[in-house]
A = this chain, B = another copy of it.
Amino acid sequence: MEVEAISQHTSRSFNKDLAGIHNLVLNMGGLVEDQFERAVKAIAEADSELGLGVAESDRQVNEMEMRIDEECRRILATRAPAAGDLRLIVAAMKTITDLERIGDETEKIGKLASRLATVKRPSTNFRELRNLAQHVKGMIRDALDAFARLDVQQGLAVMKADKVVDEEYEAIARQSLTFMLEDPRTITREMDVSWAARALERIGDHTKNICEHAIYMAHGTDIRHTSLKSVESEVRQAGSMKESSP
């Protein structure tokens, strides 16, 4: 009876540890989302101060990363997790690396926003860049959602969305080049637009990575460097196997 109580206690506190990690990652994701929203607002509203302020919160993001990493290492060392528990820890450690990089890219966007705030704005007020940012923002939210709910379908949807983001980035880069060639006075501005678009494209890549980690966590398969099509068929197969199993 006593032994059972202890083992229940151990497993309960272990579960608490695991849920804690899951929550911490989502909290870190929330921080990064806030940071990203401010950077994008700084571009849209030509708010130089807001743009520079983004760097401040990047410190918080970095601290979160180190704290979660330490907690994961502690759990690995003391709990020796296996199967799904181990997958959660590994996925968490990888996800926070991507979140931290999103924070870095967001900090860059903030700096570029503060520079763009001081130049003559094009008549479109950087519409394409703002559109791209909106798409990437949706991807970050959906990727965190996939991570939160271990939702493979949501993860796959984000991975598809990344293709659109890549295309939008290419279009902006081409447009910037055209502007520069047509009117060299726009060179400095359009270089900054290109860098910002590139940073957004990189953030799209990192959210895609987060979905890969979420799918690995939920599904136990490493789908990196695999075509979307074969991932989908694999997930479908695994799903139908589960359904048909007793």
Which residues of A pack against B, CB within 8 Å? 59, 62-63, 65-66, 69-70, 73, 76-77, 80, 82-83, 86, 90, 93-94, 97, 177, 180-181, 184, 187-188, 191, 194, 222, 224-225
Contact = CB atoms under 8 A, between A and B. Distances in A.
Give the dominant DSSP class at A's interface: helix
A203 to B, nearest CB: 14
Going nearest first, the 5 A-B pairs with the smallest beta carbon separation are: A80-B80, A62-B225, A184-B184, A180-B187, A77-B82
Contacts of A70: 222
Nearest to A79: B80
B225 A66 contact: yes
A63 B66 CA distance: 28
Contacts of A222: 66, 69-70
Contacts of A187: 177, 180-181, 184, 187
Contacts of A82: 77
